[in-house]
Amino acid sequence: MAKEKEGTLLVVDDNRSILAAVQLLMGNYFARVLTLPTPNQLMTTLRRKPVDVILLDMNFSAGINTGNEGFYWLQEIHRNYPDIQVVLFTAYADIDLAVRAMRDGAVDFVVKPWDNERLVAALQGAYNLSRSQREVKQLKEIKRELTNEEPMFWGSSPAMARIRELVEKVAATDANILITGENGTGKEMLAREIHRRSARHNELMVSVDMGALPETLFESELFGHVKGAFTDARTDRAGKFEVANHGTLFLDEIGNLPPHLQSKLLTALQSGRIVRVGSNTPVTVDIRLISATNRDLYKMVEQGAFREDLLYRINTIHIDLPPLRQRRMDIHPLAEGFLRRYAAKYGKAIEGFDAEALREMETYPWAGNIRELQHTVEKAVILCDGPVITPSTLLLRPAAAPAPAADSDVTTLDEMERSMIARAMERCGGNMTEVARQLGITRQTLYNKIKRYGL
């Protein structure tokens, strides 16, 4: 199967015969080949059209062969468009000239008359470099966003102190870690904290929500695919394992993975290799695995719903996060932290919580744990018009004032829906696929509602 053409090449040369010949040749390899007979319009062209690679002649004035014109335009390109790769083109082979070209930022140097294979290799190599640098830049932007997240809040409860001590011992190792706990207890936040403390902290942590991943896309998302592997596979695509290579792979809601897919995951973890869908070539990957679930995997093993060998593979270290109701001394400092964040976000001058609001928060059951507390504080900050948050703006359900008559139906429907979802989650033991099936909604809709209601 012929490889799909990619990228844009710009050829700048004062010889129109050369322009036509290169355009004809490289049209077989690039999606677009643009030509310019003079560099005078080079900057204007680059402002108007995205270009990946430039093949730049070094001499444009008759009788001059110093190459200074080419070096001038090479510097202009790199000063204004540093991501574009430049290959220099000259009729005069000179070692010193080639060395200077490389030193000034050209990625290659081709001599006229050229060998077609040599020219194709030089320009394709330049494009591959451009694409790789673009992908690395995108990944670094993603990593920068991740590292700007809020740091882990440990609190002062004995349970969290023990977890912090354990994390300090195991984070620097490559041990696979399983994090368990109810929804909203901060499992992904803890996973990011472990990654930040690990030897892989300069690489990516890639998260995969196994509960929201359609079964039909499991292999493609995790292992990637090659062009033509299935109907919509128009290009090669790396999976999450490859993207996380040398970093951390976080598999959230791993307890929701169907048994027939568990074996595929186990094979990849055992071998340290994956095979893209549609390919027969194994790719070696080096990842640190962190998994999370709100389900009892040991009980699932007894029921035949989860592979015992997979559980042992992901469970070198087990960390169980306690629900917020079991660490009530952490509620106040957590709430204060959320208050500072959202007061700054919404431009509110709020000093804190009054005594009654604190008492209500510390006695409230917090079924949705930290996530519910976070959403409650954000809502209170938005509604608060004074210097402190009171129970009337906190709107916790046990102390909630009756809603206006005009809105009573809406409030009742929301409460009924929240209660129905909570009961279904308890009945199904946290199996989100089964919860969604019983409620007659998609898993993505279910996750949106869980987030909305702080469950």
Structure confidence at residue 59 as a pLDDT band (50, 70, 90): confident
- The answer to whether residues 362 and 331 touch, using CB atoms and an 8 Å cutoff, is yes
Residue 149 lies in a domain: no
pLDDT at 217 over 90: no
> What pLDDT does 401 receive?
39
Residue 339: pLDDT over 50 = yes
The CATH number of the domain holding residue 249 is 3.40.50.300
Closest to 54 measured CA to CA, from 3, 12, 104, 99: 12
For 379-427, write each residue's pLDDT tens digit: 999 999 899 999 988 888 653 334 444 443 444 566 667 777 887 787 7
Given this model, what pLDDT does residue 146 score? 53
- Alpha-carbon distance of 22 to 28, in angstroms, equals 10
Is the pLDDT assigned to residue 292 strictly greater than 70?
Answer: yes
Asked if residue 23 lies in contact with residue 54, where contact means CB atoms within 8 angstroms, the answer is no
Tokens of 398: 């046990």
The whole-number pLDDT of residue 411 equals 45
Strand 8-12's sheet: what is its strand order?
Answer: 32-36, 8-12, 53-57, 85-90, 108-111
Average pLDDT over residues 42-64: 85
Share of the chain above pLDDT 70, in %: 88
**Residue 150's pLDDT band (boundaries 50, 70, 90)?**
low
Whether residue 312 sits in one domain with residue 197? yes
Last residue of a domain, one of 322, 347, 381: 322
Least confident of 10-14, 328-332, 408-412, 433-437: 408-412
Q: Please indicate, yes or no, whether residues 426 and 305 belong to a single structural domain of this protein.
A: no
Residue 46 has pLDDT above 90, yes or no: yes
Mean per-residue pLDDT for 29-48?
92
Helix (H) or strand (E) holding 36: strand 32-36
Residues 340 and 440 in one domain: yes
Note whether 174 and 317 are same-domain residues: yes
Q: What is the CATH number of the domain that holds 428?
A: 1.10.8.60
Identify which has the larger pLDDT, 309 or 144: 309
- Report yes or no on 96 lying in a domain: yes
More confident site: 28 or 396? 28
Grade residue 125 by pLDDT with cuts at 50, 70 and 90.
Answer: confident
Domain membership of residue 367 (yes or no) is yes
Q: Are 394 and 355 in contact (CB under 8 A)?
A: no
What three-state secondary structure class fits 388? Answer: strand
HEC assignment per residue over 46-58 = HHHCCCCEEEEEC
At 415 the pLDDT is 67
Q: CA neighbours within 13 Å on the CB side: how many for 38?
A: 5
Rounded Cα distance, 167 and 160, in Å: 10
Question: 302 and 373 in one domain?
Answer: no
Q: What is the pLDDT of residues 84-102, one digit of tens each?
A: 999 998 877 666 777 777 7
What sign results for the dihedral spanned by CA atoms 322, 323, 329, 334?
positive
Pick from 269, 301, 322: which residue ends a domain?
322
Q: Same structural domain for residues 119 and 164?
A: no
Q: How far is CA 118 from CA 14, 37, 85, 112, in A?
A: 21, 23, 17, 11
Is the residue at 410 inside a domain? yes
Same domain, residue pair 71 and 199 = no
Report d(CA 240, CA 251) in Å as an integer. Answer: 10
**Dist CA 115 CA 134 (whole Å):** 29
Q: Which tokens sit at 183?
A: 């929804």
What secondary structure letter does DSSP report for 274? Answer: E
pLDDT tens, 171-203?
Answer: 999 999 999 999 999 999 999 999 999 999 888
Strands (E) located in 202-302: 205-209, 224-225, 237-238, 248-252, 273-275, 282-284, 288-293
120, 209: one domain: no
Residue 183 and residue 315 in one domain: yes
Show the domain range for 315. 158-322
Please tell me the total count of domains within the chain.
3
Average model confidence (pLDDT) across the chain: 85
Could you give the 3-state DSSP secondary structure of residue 279? coil
pLDDT value at position 133? 74
- In-domain check, residue 141: no
More confident site: 227 or 403: 227
Residues 192 and 316 in one domain: yes
Give the pairing type, strands 224-225 and 317-320.
unpaired
More confident: 455 or 225: 225
- For residue 49, is it within any domain? yes
* Rg from Cα positions in the chain: 29
Check residue 165 and give its pLDDT: 95
Question: What CATH number does the domain containing 60 carry?
Answer: 3.40.50.2300
Domain check: are 167 and 284 in the same one?
A: yes
Q: Please report the pLDDT score of residue 400 as a whole number.
A: 39
Cα separation, 195 vs 432, whole angstroms? 26
Neighbours of 305 (CB within 10 A): 17
Strand partners, 291: 178, 251
Yes or no: say if 10 and 51 are a contact pair by the CB < 8 Å rule.
yes
Would you give the DSSP letter of residue 402?
P
127 domain residue, yes or no: yes
Residue written as tokens 């803890």?
190
In the predicted structure, residue 145 carries a pLDDT above the cut 60: no
Asked if residue 348 and residue 297 are part of one domain, the reply reads: no
> What are the two backbone dihedrals, phi and then psi, of residue 205, each rounded to the nearest 5 degrees?
-110, 120
Mean pLDDT for 350-378 is 93
Q: Last residue of a domain, which of 259, 294, 322?
A: 322
| Mean local confidence (pLDDT), 4-15 | 90
Q: Pseudo-torsion of CA 34, 38, 41, 46, nearest 10°?
A: 40
Question: Is 148 inside any structural domain?
Answer: no
Q: Structure tokens of 199?
A: 């030897």
Which pLDDT belongs to residue 452? 74
- The answer to whether 116 and 25 have CB atoms below 8 angstroms apart is yes
pLDDT at 249 over 90: yes
pLDDT at res. 119: 94
